Amino acid sequence: MVLNMLKQRKIPEPKPLFLERMQKLFQNKKDFKNYLEILKHKPVKSIRCNTLKISPEKLKKKLEVYGWKIIQPWKTNPEVMIVDTELEPGELGRSLEHLLGYYYIQELASMLPVIALEPKQGEKILDLCSAPGSKTTQIAAKMQNTGFIIANEISLGRIKILASNLERCGVTNTIITKKEGAALCKRFKKQDLKFDKILIDTPCSGEGTLRSKYKTYIMWNIKTIKSLPKIQFNLFKNAFEILKIGGEIIYSTCTHAPEENEGVVNRILEEFKDRIKIQKIKIPIKSRQGITKWESNKYNPKVKSTCRIYPQDNNTEGFFLAKFKKIK
């Protein structure tokens, strides 16, 4: 299934320091080679059935009428679909079913944070960095428009895209706020508004998106990687204060950089000590445990409970997930 979906294309030259870091991360030569190889191939065309509007069975039948071959790769998540057919550029977004909000075009790995968050009906959920809305619409579908979601975004331009996606998908349980994430949490703390679950799909250096976004090759720089953890930790620290006791947080990035992943998780464990517990994550694809050493840094062994998603393991983009529970 995987091999026939691989479509090779020309990619920009990765920066030497990026390659050096990735090689250090993989250690195993064959693994590194497989990683570089898969970057040359387009990611698969994946969609998520919007169960607020239609069942996966009905959607599959409708899309098959176009001659599209639909694969449901994860038994536990029938809403997740791969379109295994050669399509014209943009065709996936032009079907009647897409225009009516029956499905959302979403990369497979990008669906994992919400699967790990396990939203339930009636819960109060905060999606702290929510644009363009792929994960917010996924949460709303899991909740069947019950409970409520606060979907926050700082950029007005991105809010327009977020609002448009929420509308197309028929999301009625969500309030969109425009505020810097940490400041938003401080306001909610003052108001004593607390959440059952929080998703922090944090801004990151985006190394995991190289297969679909060429510009990441050009924009990649080590300064960004060194400066982001402060922002990422600050978002988490403030979000933690408005999480209910017993509530859960998913911290996710679409990067492989340990500074933004295990480095931040390590700092979270140091800061919150016995107030927090790192959780095992249930996701339907192969993942690797978090690393405990990077350059001169040694991390808390508990960071092994985090998940590294590598493109070569499942033919997806790259991702990182950590799940926490608030104990006190």
8 A C-beta contact, residue 96 and residue 59: no
Candidate list 49, 129, 254, 307, residue with the active-site label: 254
Q: Which residues of 38-55 are buried (b: 16+ CB within 10 A; e: fewer)?
A: bbebebbbbbbbbbbbbe
Tell me the closest approach of the beta carbon of residue 122 to another protein, in angstroms: 7
Tell me the closest approach of the beta carbon of residue 147 to another protein, in angstroms: 5
**CA–CA dist 45, 92 (Å, integer):** 8
Binding site for another protein (CB under 8 A): 53, 66, 88, 91, 94-96, 99-101, 122, 124, 145-150, 156, 159, 163-164, 166-168, 170-179, 184, 187-188, 190-191, 193
Tell me the closest approach of the beta carbon of residue 185 to another protein, in angstroms: 10
254 counts as catalytic: yes
Tell me the closest approach of the beta carbon of residue 84 to another protein, in angstroms: 18
Nearer to another protein, 31 or 196 (CB): 196
Nearer to another protein, 167 or 270 (CB): 167
**CA-angle at 126, arms to 283 and 277, nearest 5°:** 55
Tell me the closest approach of the beta carbon of residue 63 to another protein, in angstroms: 11
Nearer to another protein, 58 or 293 (CB): 58
Nearer to another protein, 39 or 163 (CB): 163
Nearer to another protein, 78 or 170 (CB): 170
Catalytic residues: 254
